[in-house]
A and B are shown apart, each in its own frame.
Chain A
Amino acid sequence: MSPTVLQRMASGDPAAVRECMDRYGGLVWSLARRLSRTASDAEDAAQEIFLDIWRSAARYDASRGSDKVFIATIARRRLIDRMRKRSGEPPMEPPEALESIAWSDPASLPDTAIDAAHAARALGELRPEQRQVLELGLMHGFSQSEIASRLSMPLGTVKSLMRRGLLRVRELMNIKIEGAAGRADG
C-alpha cells in the first residue's frame, strides 16, 4: 500500500506539504472559522493547527480512523484550547447570525471518511434535542452554559442531552464499524 499524505509528510517529503494543504485546507479553515471569534483569530488558529498536524503526522494510524477525522481531532483540540483562553471574552457572534449546518449525506461521504459517514448516520438517529445540543456545542463552539442560556434550559439538562447524545453516537459508530468489519471479514 502506498504511504498516505500524512505518512509522507512525517517522512519529510516536501511535495506532501502542498498535498496536505490541498486535501485538508478547506476542512481546517472551515472548523477554524466556526470555532473562532474573528477571521484573524481563525487565521492564527489555522496556522497553529497545521503545525500541530505536521508534528503529529507520524502518529496517524489508518486502522484507528480516517485521515479527515484525525485532522479534525487535532484541529478541535487546538481550537478548544484557544476557546478556553478566550472564555471570558464576549460571544463570538450574535446568536441570530448562526450559519446553518449542511450535514453530509452519509452516502455522499467518501470511503476514506467512513467514520464521518457513520457519525452522520448516527446523528440521524438521535432525538432532535440531543442533535440540537450537539450541533450547537460541536459545530458552533457554544459552551454548555451558553447553550443552556440560548435554549432556556437548565445546565443539567444540557449536560444530560449532550452526554446521552454523544454516547449514543459513539455507540452507534462502534456498532456500525463492527458490523462493517464483520461484513468485510465475512
Chain B
Amino acid sequence: MAETGPQKQPDEAMLDLLIKQVTDGLSPEEQRELDVLDNEVASAYARDLEHAAAAISVAGTGEPPPMPAALRARIEAQLQAAAAPSNTVRAIGTAPQRTRTRSTAGWWAAAACLVLAVVGWLRSPPVQGPGVEPTLAQQREALLASPGAQQIQLAATAEPAAAGAKVDVVWDPRSQRGFVRFVGLKPNDPSQHQYQLWIFDGDRDQRYPVDGGVFNVPPNADQVLVPIRAQLPVHAAKAFAVTIEQPGGVVVSGREHVVAIGKVS
C-alpha cells in the first residue's frame, strides 16, 4: 500500500510518463526518459498509481464470468507441470531410470510419456517391448525424424563453463517439444547455480525469451541430454540460448553468463 508520509512531488512530465506506464505502457524511448528522472520519487508514485489502476480494474469487474472450462483445464495443467521439479538430466548411455516426480506433474507428463513411448516403439527397431520407456536419446532421434523438426547448433561463448562445449537443440514447433544436447559443458553445483535454457520467440518481446527450463550437468557426464520444457507456447522459435543462473532459475535473465547461443536458420 502507498506510503502516506510526506513525499517529494513528481513534476508534470514525470507524472505523464508514470500515468502512461500504467495505462498504455511506455515505448522504449519513453522508458529511457523515465529512467533518467528521479528514480526514488518515480518508483514510489509508479507503485501507488499501478495499485490504484488495479484497484479500479477490480472494482469495475463486478461479478466476473467464469473462465471457459477448456482454458481453465489447460492453464491448471500448465501450472501443475510448472510446479513439478526441474528437468531431469540423464547422461547418454546410462540405463533409463524411472524418475521420481511429484504427482503434481499431472496428466500432461503422463500423456507425454505415453505419446513418446508409442512413437518410440513405432519408430525404433524392435529391441524393446512397448512397456519399456525409450531412452532420451531414442526420444530425441524419434523427434528429429518427425516432419518439421529442426536441429540448431548453438555456439559456445567465451564463458569459462562453456570452454570446448558443443551444444545442439532439436525442436519440433508443432508438438512444442525438444531436446538440448551438451558435450563438454562444465558440471555445476546445483546449490550454487544452474543452467537455464531460453527460447527467443519471434512473436514475443525479445527482452523476455521463453523459459525452457533449468537443468544440471552432473560430473563425469561426457554427453548430457535435456528435454526442453517451454513454459509458454512458442509460436516462432528464432534462437536458443543457455545461461548460468541462480538455483531454481530466474524469470528474466540478466544475461551476465551466457554459455551458448544459436539462431534458427
Q: Which residues of A contact B (CB under 8 A)?
A: 12, 14, 17-18, 20-21, 25-31, 43-44, 46-48, 50-51, 54-55, 63-66, 68-70, 72-73, 75-77, 80-81, 83-85, 101-104, 106, 109, 113, 115-120, 123, 134-135, 137-139, 143-144, 159, 162-163, 166-167, 169-170, 173-174, 177-178
When C-beta atoms are compared, the residue in chain A nearest to B83 turns out to be A12
Q: State which residues 54-72 of B face A: CB under 8 Å.
A: 54-68, 71-72
Q: State which residues 12-41 of B face A: CB under 8 Å.
A: 12, 15-16, 19-20, 22-25, 27
Question: Within 8 Å of chain A (Cβ to Cβ): is B4?
Answer: yes
Q: How far is the CA of A165 from the CA of B229 in the complex (A)?
A: 44
Question: Within 8 Å of chain A (Cβ to Cβ): is B263?
Answer: no
Q: Is the CB of A138 within 8 A of B58?
A: no
Contacts of A102 in B (CB 8 A): 60, 62-63
Among candidates B27, B72, B103, residue contacting A14 with C-beta atoms closer than 8 Å:
B103
Q: Is the CB of A119 within 8 A of B231?
A: no
Q: Is the CB of B58 within 8 A of A116?
A: yes
Among candidates A20, A30, A48, A123, residue contacting B61 with C-beta atoms closer than 8 Å:
A30
Q: Which residues of B contact A (CB under 8 A)?
A: 1-2, 4, 12, 15-16, 19-20, 22-25, 27, 48-68, 71-72, 74-76, 78-80, 82-83, 102-104, 204-205, 231-233, 251
Q: How far is the CA of A118 from the CA of B48 in the complex (A)?
A: 14
Q: Is the CB of A167 within 8 A of B15?
A: yes
Q: How far is the CA of A99 from the CA of B245 in the complex (A)?
A: 45
Q: How far is the CA of A29 from the CA of B66 in the complex (A)?
A: 7
Q: Is the CB of A54 within 8 A of B64?
A: no
Contacts of A162 in B (CB 8 A): 19, 23
Report the minimal beta-carbon distance from B89 to chain A, rounded to whole angstroms: 21
Contacts of A21 in B (CB 8 A): 67, 72, 75-76, 79
Report the minimal beta-carbon distance from B109 to chain A, rounded to whole angstroms: 13
Q: How far is the CA of A76 from the CA of B83 in the complex (A)?
A: 23
Among candidates A25, A44, A118, A159, residue contacting B66 with C-beta atoms closer than 8 Å:
A25
Q: Is the CB of B51 within 8 A of A73?
A: yes
Q: Is the CB of A163 within 8 A of B19?
A: yes
Among candidates B2, B63, B65, B74, residue contacting A170 with C-beta atoms closer than 8 Å:
B2
Q: Is the CB of B59 within 8 A of A46?
A: no
Among candidates B16, B67, B68, B74, residue contacting A159 with C-beta atoms closer than 8 Å:
B16
Contacts of A163 in B (CB 8 A): 12, 15-16, 19
Q: Is the CB of B65 within 8 A of A30?
A: yes
Contacts of B104 in A (CB 8 A): 12, 14, 17
Q: Is the CB of B58 within 8 A of A72?
A: yes
Return the 10 tightest CB-CB contacts between A and B, nearest first.
A26-B64, A119-B55, A30-B64, A120-B59, A116-B58, A29-B67, A72-B54, A102-B62, A25-B67, A73-B54
Contacts of B24 in A (CB 8 A): 80, 83-84, 137, 143-144
Q: Is the CB of B25 within 8 A of A116?
A: no
Report the minimal beta-carbon distance from B210 to chain A, rounded to whole angstroms: 10
Q: Is the CB of A144 within 8 A of B2?
A: no
